[in-house]
Chains A and B, each alone.
Chain A
Amino acid sequence: MDINTLVKRLKKGDELAFRELVYSFSARLMTIARIYARSEEDAKDTLQDAFVIVFRKIKGFEGDTEAQFYGWLKRIIINISLSKNQRKYRNLESSLNALEIDKGFDEEIISNMTHQEIMDLIFNLPDDYRQVFALFAIEGYSHKEIASMLNISVTNSRTHLYRSKKLLQEKISFSKKIVIV
């Protein structure tokens, strides 16, 4: 698929190009949407809203590579997802009280895990942790940027990341025990 051609057709308002765009990027973008959404239905809504914004704002896109285009799409998904969840950042402390994680992160175990197992680990993190974790570990945002995006303090961002890592370690160790048993 030639991104430049696709973008040019989209800029002309070509509905077939829009259909091609949706079919080409839905699966990958849905993964991003699902990471930041609280449910699969929310993720679908986010994805649909994102494509509407893409169609409306495509004339402002000036990149010429697929990486740039995908990055732009991904950023739209993240922004929409976070804006929908912004008001739900409350009482995080209560959801953390049950977490008592003191086990180390085993790099070797992660390397040996299948793709689906890793994705299940991420998808099964609590919503608020998953978002901070994904923004920091996957998207590479700094704590200051994450704090601004999620309307939380930098301290909270650090805390959320730390606790999400701990939770992942617990889940990985637990899955390993199940395998051993």
Chain B
Amino acid sequence: MAATSEQIRRVKVRPNYDHVAWKWMRYSALLLIPLVWIHVILQDVIVGVHAMDLDYVAQRWANIGWRIYDALLLGFAMAHGMNGVRQVANDFIKGDRARSIMSWALFVFWLAITVIGAAALIGGVRQDIPLN
């Protein structure tokens, strides 16, 4: 084998969309682990679904801290999840055009669900409507 030079060649590549999306998955994940785990342990294990009603949600959201907490969950978890679906779907869909359609469809879906969630988070529990 001929001797090869061991100079390290460094190339700067401009990050494309998928590069940014990949980093986003990592950074959002680090934030989501405490956010989601605390949420799940508190609501599913400690409080439990049998203690849930409109009053519970109203009381929780009376505290602006929990509203901010839920807003972070909504923003980070839904975006992380939708980008994850996009990555899985990329394995099953071939062709730039089909992938582009899938990406835009997921984006519209993400936007719709996020807007619905944000509306409730801002609007709060509506108790003016008689339930019985």
A and B associate in one complex: no
Interfacial residues, chain A to chain B (CB-CB below 8 A) = none
